[in-house]
Amino acid sequence: MQPMPHQLMGYDRAITMFSPEGRLLQVEYAKKTVKQGSSAIGMVCKDGVLLVTDKRILDPLIVPESIEKIFKIDDSIGVTVAGILSDARVLIERAQLKAQQHKVTFDTSADVLTIVKDICSLKQICTQSGGLRPFGVSLLVAGIDENGPRLFETDPTGIFFQFNARAIGEAENEIEEILHKEYKKDMSIDDGVRLAVDMLKKTLGEKFNMERIDIAVIRESDKRFHRPSVDEVKKIVGGQ
């Protein structure tokens, strides 16, 4: 007799139930949701940090500027996401509140790791509490603090890792392969923007256009979150 799939045995019906292999199937499903999200890229450069994402405009009647895939947490920290955007907004609003509270309490900006740990604490609670479901979203958190430019990824389990360069979303594997070959720690932000746009151009193919690309940069010189306009980005990438 063939063994029954764990889905049929009910191991994926509750977030608190481990399968015999020690897997939480609902969390694994959440990770698959992230893989279906539009691509997002983060890079640490010699003069700062950048986030680049595909806004995936599905309807030509949509106003491109109304789609937000990169969010400001405070002056020196930004976030981009892949997965369920409504889930991400809950985490982002929590992070913004945490950053404001830190600023009021200590009269200084929160460091990037503090924000990341707070986000991950809520994500983790949702992997071991009955009646909840995991957040179906991964976040790239980029910022500059006393430790310099930093980039972290958080996944639906509540795990986080620090990266020099990272991609999440539907083209994650293709973009990661290019990053391993072409990313260099001594790249400038402008070099990083050119590389990121080129990678999205390769993965999107004929669907690519500058209107669907969202970019944010934080330079070490001023530590200010800045979202360049389409015209600014075109100048950087040479009018692609």
Evaluate whether residue 28 is within a structural domain. no
Evaluate whether residue 141 is within a structural domain. yes
Evaluate whether residue 160 is within a structural domain. yes
Q: pTM for the full model?
A: 0.92
Q: What integer pLDDT is reported at residue 65 of this predicted model?
A: 83
Q: Give the three-class secondary structure for 214.
A: strand
Evaluate whether residue 204 is within a structural domain. yes
User: 139: which strand partners?
Assistant: 81, 154
Q: Give CA–CA dist 221/45, Å, rounded.
A: 12
Amino acid sitting at position 113:
L
Evaluate whether residue 136 is within a structural domain. yes
- Count CB neighbours of 18 within 10 A: 11
Evaluate whether residue 46 is within a structural domain. yes
**Run of H or E residues at 111:** none
Q: Give CA–CA dist 7/5, Å, rounded.
A: 5
Q: What is the domain-level CATH number for residue 75?
A: 3.60.20.10
Domain that holds residue 100: 39-237
Q: What integer pLDDT is reported at residue 200 of this predicted model?
A: 95
Each residue's pLDDT expressed in tens, for the chain with a length of 240 residues: 455 565 546 778 888 888 888 888 899 999 999 999 999 999 999 999 999 999 998 888 888 888 899 999 999 999 999 999 999 999 999 999 999 999 999 999 999 999 999 999 999 999 998 888 999 999 999 999 999 999 999 999 999 999 999 999 999 999 999 999 999 999 999 999 999 999 999 999 988 988 889 999 999 999 999 999 888 998 988 744
Number of structural domains the chain divides into: 1
Q: What integer pLDDT is reported at residue 1 of this predicted model?
A: 44
Q: What integer pLDDT is reported at residue 18 of this predicted model?
A: 87
Q: What integer pLDDT is reported at residue 20 of this predicted model?
A: 84
